[in-house]
């Protein structure tokens, strides 16, 4: 059977046959090593070694569940709210991350990231290779995919959503292939493997809220396949509609298997129905920025493929890419979904163009090419060694950037045993609560990156009034129940003892606390300011008073990095 990736299969071909899988005997040792090289290149592109602001929280929440043997129904580690319902849509991911940290610390977390990286790169690469893609096409697809995901590839639960997307598309490409490749001559699907999709959705729903994106992709894929059959007046249309409706229903029902049941989906729908301008990753894609470069590369590649390919162009696949491109423009965090889908949809067309180019350049018959094909194992091994050496620093150390995180400020707090209710800059809160869990378990923070999962909107607005001001560049979306704008309210709400602020990222907050009565500056460096209640830390008769000589106020540059988890060193 002729492969759909073969250049001889023209778009004008009337007969659409299923693509043939690559035969195992074509996989030489050199080919395997070269594919390993491609995966290492992807790891290098995606292998950021810096801690994400939410990582401490995800690990700590998972540890709390492992310690207590139960999920927590209300907000933990916060003094801002104590009995608010907590709908945690990342339980499974947090348990896995906590387990990795407990077993191996930073090494365990980095190993987890590497495994997920190999899955999100390897699954599309395996699918393209199985369909006949060569090494050059595999290289193009790997780089395209890695660049599209890398900006958002941090150790966080959304990694599981991207892996889930790759698994979902691999299952659909194998079992309902006509969306991206020639339609099989018989039957609605090729195998029963498609029924693994509901099983996937159970795990995905409990790992990350991106399961809704997965359901949307599934609905679009099945819907476009059915529409194509209806347009063609194919006799299989009715059977396909019944099959796809049953599969979609089973997958949706699988999403109900979670600790909250239908309540999770109600909360997710309500949460996604409100804009989040305060959270940068939910902002629209800045089309003229460096962040948008992978998006434009994907768009350009798709256009070249449509123009130059000799493989069969299936319109449903490109409509799917168009839908994902629209979502990417609306929310930049959706760019990885587009990149993963593009690696499946564009694979046969990239292979077609690569073959055309290589034939035009006569690389396949040149003496040099012949020598390279016969002696390619040695350079592949050399490249494997070089890439491994480059990857080692990123795989060995999970760094905590001192110019971004208040490592020195938390050390000051630990040295002077400062604890209690601490109002912390939003991006530092989960680092702080994890440090408190280690050093002062009675301390609490407000507020953190769990955002709407465990904080009511009026409470979020109150703290954003302090951190962001009334009209920040990115905009605000205040709830009508939040009352008038008041940046001072957060400084009094629930009587915080300490306030830890980022000086330059949130100058509005720094100005506000300087104007507010009753606060004393206890610590300052080039990054952070720590303020304490004057009646507790500055009053002569207070047992907690910190004399001026013991305060540390200056502009000491915060440079370099600490090693995860960068908790304060205990005083002897």
Q: List, for residues 180-193, the tens digit of each pLDDT value.
A: 998 887 766 667 88
Concatenating the DSSP letter of every residue in 80-102 gives: S-SS-B---TTHHHHHHHHHHHH
pLDDT at 9: 36
* Dist. CA 320–CA 340, nearest whole Å: 12
Express each pLDDT in 212-249 by its tens digit: 999 999 999 999 999 999 999 998 999 999 999 999 99
Is 329 or 478 the better-scoring residue by pLDDT? 329
Please, is 326 exposed, middle or buried when counting C-beta atoms within 10 Å of its C-beta (0-12, 13-18, 19+)?
Answer: exposed
Placement of tokens 């400062």 in the chain: 418
Token digits for 367? 């003496």
Mean pLDDT of 398-415: 96
pLDDT at 474: 67
Token digits for 226? 């059915």
* Dist. CA 6–CA 182, nearest whole Å: 12
Residues 384/44, Cβ–Cβ less than 8 Å: no
pLDDT at 517: 93
Mean pLDDT of 435-457: 92
Mean pLDDT of 74-92: 94
Mean pLDDT of 275-295: 82
**Lowest-pLDDT choice from 53-67, 269-283, 546-560:** 269-283
pLDDT at 371: 45
529 bridge partner residues: 501, 524
pLDDT at 367: 46
Is 468 or 245 the better-scoring residue by pLDDT? 245
| pLDDT at residue 337 is higher than 90 | yes
pLDDT at 523: 98
**Lowest-pLDDT choice from 297-306, 369-378, 491-500, 539-548:** 369-378
**pLDDT bracket for residue 455 (50, 70, 90):** very high
Listed residue (159, 89, 91) closest to 340, CA to CA: 159
* Dist. CA 167–CA 251, nearest whole Å: 14
pLDDT at 470: 80
Residue-averaged pLDDT of the chain: 88
pLDDT at 226: 95
Residue 244, preceding peptide bond in cis (omega within 30° of 0):
no
Mean pLDDT of 427-455: 94
Beta-strand ranges (E) seen in 338-415 are 399-401
* Dist. CA 462–CA 471, nearest whole Å: 14
| pLDDT at residue 25 is higher than 70 | no
**pLDDT bracket for residue 99 (50, 70, 90):** very high
| pLDDT at residue 11 is higher than 70 | no
| pLDDT at residue 299 is higher than 50 | yes
Residue 424 contacts by C-beta under 8 Å, 6 or more apart in sequence?
432, 445, 446, 448, 499, 500
3-state helix, strand, coil in the chain (%, to 5): 60, 5, 35
Mean pLDDT of 414-433: 95
* Cα Rg, the chain, nearest whole Å: 27
Q: How many residues in total does the chain contain? A: 572
Listed residue (207, 208, 179, 209) closest to 194, CA to CA: 179
| pLDDT at residue 547 is higher than 70 | yes
**pLDDT bracket for residue 31 (50, 70, 90):** confident
φ/ψ of 142, rounded to 5, equals: -65, -45
Please, is 213 exposed, middle or buried when counting C-beta atoms within 10 Å of its C-beta (0-12, 13-18, 19+)?
Answer: buried
Looking at the chain, the whole-number percentage of residues with pLDDT higher than 70 is: 91
pLDDT at 19: 43
* Dist. CA 390–CA 384, nearest whole Å: 10
pLDDT at 122: 95
Placement of tokens 């069969």 in the chain: 312
pLDDT at 464: 92
Mean pLDDT of 411-417: 95
| pLDDT at residue 441 is higher than 50 | yes
Is 22 or 111 the better-scoring residue by pLDDT? 111
Express each pLDDT in 340-366 by its tens digit: 999 999 999 999 999 888 887 765 444
| pLDDT at residue 117 is higher than 90 | yes
H/E stretch holding 142: helix 135-150
| pLDDT at residue 50 is higher than 80 | yes
CA dihedral of residues 109, 115, 121, 122 (deg, nearest 10): 180
């Amino acid at each position: 059977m002729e492969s759909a990736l073969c250049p001889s299969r023209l778009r004008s071909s009337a007969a659409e046959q299923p693509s043939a899988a690559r035969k195992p005997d074509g996989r030489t040792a050199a080919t395997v090593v070269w594919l390993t090289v491609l995966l290492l290149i992807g790891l290098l592109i995606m292998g950021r070694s810096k801690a994400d602001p939410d990582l401490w929280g995800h690990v700590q929440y998972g540890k709390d569940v492992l310690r207590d043997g139960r999920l927590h129904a209300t907000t933990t580690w916060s003094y801002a709210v104590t009995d608010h319902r907590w709908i945690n849509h990342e339980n499974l991911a947090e348990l896995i991350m906590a387990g990795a940290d407990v077993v191996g610390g930073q090494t365990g977390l980095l190993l987890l990231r590497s495994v997920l990286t190999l899955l999100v790169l390897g699954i599309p690469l395996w699918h393209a290779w199985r369909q006949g893609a060569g090494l050059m096409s595999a290289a193009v697809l790997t780089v395209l995919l890695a660049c599209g995901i890398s900006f958002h590839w941090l150790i966080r639960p959304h990694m599981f959503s991207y892996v889930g997307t790759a698994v979902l598309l691999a299952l659909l490409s194998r079992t309902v292939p006509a969306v991206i490749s020639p339609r099989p001559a018989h039957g609605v699907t090729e195998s029963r493997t498609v029924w693994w999709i509901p099983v996937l959705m159970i795990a995905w729903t409990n790992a990350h809220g991106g399961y809704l994106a997965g359901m949307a992709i599934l609905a679009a894929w099945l819907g476009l396949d059915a529409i194509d059959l209806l347009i063609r007046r194919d006799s299989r249309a009715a059977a396909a509609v019944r099959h796809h409706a049953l599969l979609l229903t089973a997958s949706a029902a699988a999403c109900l298997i979670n600790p909250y049941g239908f309540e999770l989906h109600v909360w997710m729908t309500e949460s996604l129905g409100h804009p989040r301008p305060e959270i940068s990753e939910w902002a629209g894609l800045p089309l003229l920025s460096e962040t948008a470069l992978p998006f434009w590369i994907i768009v350009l590649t798709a256009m070249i493929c449509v123009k130059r390919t000799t493989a069969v162009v299936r319109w449903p696949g490109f409509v799917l890419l168009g839908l994902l491109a629209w979502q990417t423009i609306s929310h930049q965090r959706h760019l990885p979904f587009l990149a993963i889908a593009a690696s499946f949809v564009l694979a046969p067309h990239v292979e077609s163009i690569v073959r055309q180019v290589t034939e035009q350049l006569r690389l396949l018959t040149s003496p040099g090419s012949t020598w390279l094909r016969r002696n390619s194992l040695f350079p592949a091994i050399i490249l494997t060694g070089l890439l491994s050496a480059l990857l080692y620093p990123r795989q060995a150390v999970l760094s905590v950037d001192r110019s971004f995180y208040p490592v020195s400020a938390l050390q000051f707090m630990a040295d002077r045993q400062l604890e209690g209710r601490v109002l912390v800059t939003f991006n530092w809160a989960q680092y702080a609560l994890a440090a408190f869990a280690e050093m002062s378990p009675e301390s609490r923070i407000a507020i953190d990156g769990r955002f709407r999962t465990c904080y009511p909107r009026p409470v979020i607005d109150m703290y954003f009034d302090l951190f962001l001001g009334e009209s920040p560049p990115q905009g605000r979306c205040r709830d009508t129940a939040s009352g008038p704008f008041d940046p001072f309210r957060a400084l009094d709400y629930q009587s915080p003892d300490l306030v830890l602020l980022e000086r330059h990222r949130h100058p509005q907050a720094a100005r506000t606390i300087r104007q507010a009565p009753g606060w004393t500056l206890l610590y300052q460096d080039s990054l952070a300011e720590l303020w304490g209640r004057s009646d507790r830390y500055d009053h002569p008769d207070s047992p907690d008073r910190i004399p001026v000589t013991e305060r540390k106020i200056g502009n000491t540059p915060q440079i370099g990095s600490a090693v995860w988890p960068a908790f304060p060193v205990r005083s002897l």
